[in-house]
């Protein structure tokens, strides 16, 4: 069999150049930079990678790309396999020289919630990358390029759960000894009381002698100058010692105002990942998981109903389930769609309030194939007038806006025009079955059909 002229290392380097052109720099740096061609044998190229987790990620997400690159470099008869070889031991030691027993994961000093684990963090498109990165950090805190790791995203999307899972994971496996989790408020309050009690030295040593420091919701550092100053030094000390820093925020660091530039820039030194709102499949999976944890069998339609209506917050999703379970058990009722609709009525009403006039206008325009700006235009063309009146009607029904406000959203029309529109549509609904069914479809598109 013909062996290629290049060594495995050179071959893989060539593949890497191809890969590099096809992925974002960040992706390349994260997943490919630390890989190395090891040997070629039997039409198989073996590539060294640093850990199991890199394997999952490369194999799960970049298999086609890698295949493509190898094909370009070697022809299509070669395959790639990965060999996991941890980074060499000449890197800084993880633990201090002083021997001390590792702490159990639920150590009160770490302030970690023992239930926040990777195992019960349901993965979906919205959080996959954040979870993967967190697992990598959990396996080797302070030793990956993800330092600091900053996870950002809206309220109730799992930031706290995820970062605490890192702490629990690395404590459980004794990868590190000292993990400290604090909210940024707690950090601030501790600092203030340290100043008042003349204990700033103690404060500093407390926060600077850990292997992993997690600060949750850093956006609350806004405007607290002395706290920011203190945190800046804490950050630098830990970073220089190769300790892991993990942060969360409710928005991307670029959008945080009131935090000093030098601190903001440090927040972005490592890896910044976001968690987005979960998609429907993930919401369903989360509900099923939580039901399972509670030892409850939830009918599929109930899962669907809740997952369809609670769309932007996992805490709320959980809250609905708990309310439903509590109600059913107190009243000794079976969990059914009817019961769910009864117990959770407010989530359906709530949905109306969240709809914006723009959303309604967009949906109506798309449905009647009318350009969006026609909602505000003066045109009296028949189909435009109908679409506009339907949108006004739905806005009145599905939002809490006054007639006057509605008029303003429709090109500054007078409230009497809005009244006229409502009356016309109400008459049409009775007389014209087509309009009636149009409205049904539109309502279901706006996801309020269950009401």
Report which of 220, 222, 226, 223 is spatially closest to residue 183, judged by C-alpha positions: 220
Question: Nearest distance from residue 221's CB to Mg ion, in Å?
Answer: 15
Give how far the C-alpha of residue 196 lies from the chain's centroid of Cα atoms, to the nearest Å: 38
User: Rounded to whole angstroms, how far apart are CA atoms 383 and 392?
Assistant: 14
Q: Which is nearer to ligand ADP, 141 or 153 (CB)?
A: 153
Length of the chain: 451
Site residues for ligand ADP per CB under 6 A:
120-122, 127, 153, 155-161, 286, 314-315, 318
Question: Nearest distance from residue 408's CB to ligand ADP, in Å?
Answer: 35
Q: Which is nearer to Mg ion, 151 or 343 (CB)?
A: 151
Question: Nearest distance from residue 151's CB to Mg ion, in Å?
Answer: 10
Question: Nearest distance from residue 335's CB to ligand ADP, in Å?
Answer: 20
Phi, psi for 135 (deg, rounded to 5): -65, -40
Q: Which is nearer to ligand ADP, 105 or 314 (CB)?
A: 314
Q: Which is nearer to ligand ADP, 277 or 445 (CB)?
A: 277
Report which of 16, 87, 12, 18 is spatially closest to residue 45, judged by C-alpha positions: 12
Site string for Mg ion, 147-176 (x = CB under 5 A): ------------xx----------------
Q: Which is nearer to Mg ion, 162 or 387 (CB)?
A: 162
Question: Nearest distance from residue 179's CB to Mg ion, in Å?
Answer: 17
Q: Which is nearer to Mg ion, 159 or 177 (CB)?
A: 159
Q: Which is nearer to ligand ADP, 159 or 388 (CB)?
A: 159
With CB atoms as reference, the residue minimizing the distance to Mg ion is 160
**Which of ligand ADP, Mg ion, none does residue 161 bind to, with CB < 5 to 8 Å depending on kind?**
ligand ADP
**Which of ligand ADP, Mg ion, none does residue 359 bind to, with CB < 5 to 8 Å depending on kind?**
none
Q: How many CA atoms lie within 13 A of 276 on its CB side?
A: 8
Question: Nearest distance from residue 294's CB to Mg ion, in Å?
Answer: 22
Question: Nearest distance from residue 95's CB to ligand ADP, in Å?
Answer: 28
**Which of ligand ADP, Mg ion, none does residue 121 bind to, with CB < 5 to 8 Å depending on kind?**
ligand ADP
With CB atoms as reference, the residue minimizing the distance to ligand ADP is 158
Q: Which is nearer to Mg ion, 159 or 413 (CB)?
A: 159
**Which of ligand ADP, Mg ion, none does residue 319 bind to, with CB < 5 to 8 Å depending on kind?**
none
Report which of 248, 305, 310 is spatially closest to residue 279, judged by C-alpha positions: 310
Q: Give the CA diameter of the chain.
A: 86
User: Rounded to whole angstroms, how far apart are CA atoms 77 and 338?
Assistant: 59
Q: Which is nearer to ligand ADP, 69 or 310 (CB)?
A: 310
Question: Nearest distance from residue 117's CB to ligand ADP, in Å?
Answer: 9
* Strands across the sheet containing 244-249: 179-183, 212-216, 244-249, 149-152, 271-274
Residues of this chain, 82-101, that bind Mg ion according to CB under 5 A: none
User: Rounded to whole angstroms, how far apart are CA atoms 102 and 98?
Assistant: 12
Report the DSSP pairing between strands 179-183 and 271-274.
unpaired
Q: Which stretches does DSSP call E strand in 107-237?
A: 149-152, 179-183, 212-216
- Judged by CB under 5 A, how many residues of this single chain contact Mg ion? 2
Q: For 400, which DSSP code?
A: -
Question: Nearest distance from residue 351's CB to Mg ion, in Å?
Answer: 24
Dihedral class, residue 435 (left if φ above 0, else alpha if ψ from -120 to 50, else beta): alpha
Hey, CA dihedral for 436, 441, 446, 451, is it positive or negative? Answer: positive
Q: What count of other Cβ atoms lies within 10 Å of the Cβ of residue 422? A: 18
User: Rounded to whole angstroms, how far apart are CA atoms 372 and 389?
Assistant: 14
User: Rounded to whole angstroms, how far apart are CA atoms 257 and 261?
Assistant: 9
**Which of ligand ADP, Mg ion, none does residue 270 bind to, with CB < 5 to 8 Å depending on kind?**
none
**Which of Mg ion, ligand ADP, none does residue 155 bind to, with CB < 5 to 8 Å depending on kind?**
ligand ADP
Query: Rounded to 10 degrees, what is the CA torsion of 27, 33, 38, 40?
Result: 50
Question: Nearest distance from residue 319's CB to ligand ADP, in Å?
Answer: 9
Q: Which is nearer to ligand ADP, 218 or 392 (CB)?
A: 218
Q: Which is nearer to ligand ADP, 50 or 278 (CB)?
A: 278
**Which of Mg ion, ligand ADP, none does residue 314 bind to, with CB < 5 to 8 Å depending on kind?**
ligand ADP
Q: What 3-state DSSP class applies to 207? A: helix
Report which of 213, 192, 212, 215 is spatially closest to residue 203, judged by C-alpha positions: 192
Question: Nearest distance from residue 153's CB to ligand ADP, in Å?
Answer: 6
**Which of Mg ion, ligand ADP, none does residue 157 bind to, with CB < 5 to 8 Å depending on kind?**
ligand ADP
Contacts with Mg ion, residue ranges (CB under 5 A)? 159-160
């Amino acid at each position: 069999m013909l062996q290629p002229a290049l060594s495995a290392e050179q071959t893989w380097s060539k593949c890497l150049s191809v890969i590099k052109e096809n992925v974002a720099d960040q992706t390349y740096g994260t997943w490919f930079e630390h890989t190395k061609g090891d040997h070629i044998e039997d039409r198989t190229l073996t590539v060294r990678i640093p850990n199991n987790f890199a394997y999952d990620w490369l194999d799960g997400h970049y298999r086609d790309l890698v295949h493509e690159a190898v094909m370009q470099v070697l022809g299509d008869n070669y395959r790639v396999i990965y060999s996991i070889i941890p980074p060499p031991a000449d890197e800084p030691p993880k633990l201090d020289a002083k021997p001390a027993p590792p702490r159990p994961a639920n150590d009160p000093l770490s302030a970690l919630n023992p239930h926040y684990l990777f195992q019960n963090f349901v993965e979906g498109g919205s959080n996959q990358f954040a979870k993967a990165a967190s697992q990598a950090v959990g396996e080797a805190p302070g030793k990956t390029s993800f330092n600091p790791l900053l996870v950002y995203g809206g309220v109730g999307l799992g930031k706290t759960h995820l970062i605490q899972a890192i702490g629990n994971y690395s404590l459980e496996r004794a990868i590190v000894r000292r993990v400290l989790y604090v909210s940024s408020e707690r950090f601030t309050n501790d600092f203030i009381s340290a100043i008042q009690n003349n204990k700033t030295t103690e404060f500093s040593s407390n926060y600077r002698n850990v292997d992993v420091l997690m600060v949750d919701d850093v956006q609350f550092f806004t405007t607290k100058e002395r706290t920011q100053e203190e945190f800046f030094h804490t950050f630098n000390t830990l970073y220089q010692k190769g300790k892991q820093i993990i942060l969360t925020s409710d928005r991307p660091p670029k959008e945080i105002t009131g935090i000093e530039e030098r601190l903001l820039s440090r927040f972005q030194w490592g890896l910044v990942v976001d968690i987005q709102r979960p998609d429907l499949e993930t919401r369903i999976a989360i509900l099923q998981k939580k039901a399972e944890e509670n030892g409850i069998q939830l009918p599929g339609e109930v899962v669907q109903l809740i997952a369809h209506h609670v769309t932007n917050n996992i805490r709320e999703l959980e809250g609905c389930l708990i309310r439903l379970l509590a109600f059913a058990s107190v009243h000794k009722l079976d969990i059914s769609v009817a019961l769910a609709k009864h117990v959770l009525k407010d989530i359906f009403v709530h949905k109306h309030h969240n709809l914006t006039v723009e959303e309604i206008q967009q949906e109506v325009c798309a449905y009647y194939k009318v350009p969006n700006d026609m909602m505000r235009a003066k045109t009296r063309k028949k189909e435009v007038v109908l679409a506009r009146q339907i949108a006004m009607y739905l806005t009145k029904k599905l939002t809490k806006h006054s007639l006057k406000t509605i008029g303003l959203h429709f090109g500054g029309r007078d409230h009497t025009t809005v009244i006229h529109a409502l009356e016309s549509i109400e008459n049409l609904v009775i007389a014209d079955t087509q309009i009636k069914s149009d409205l049904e479809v539109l309502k279901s598109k706006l996801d309020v059909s269950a009401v």
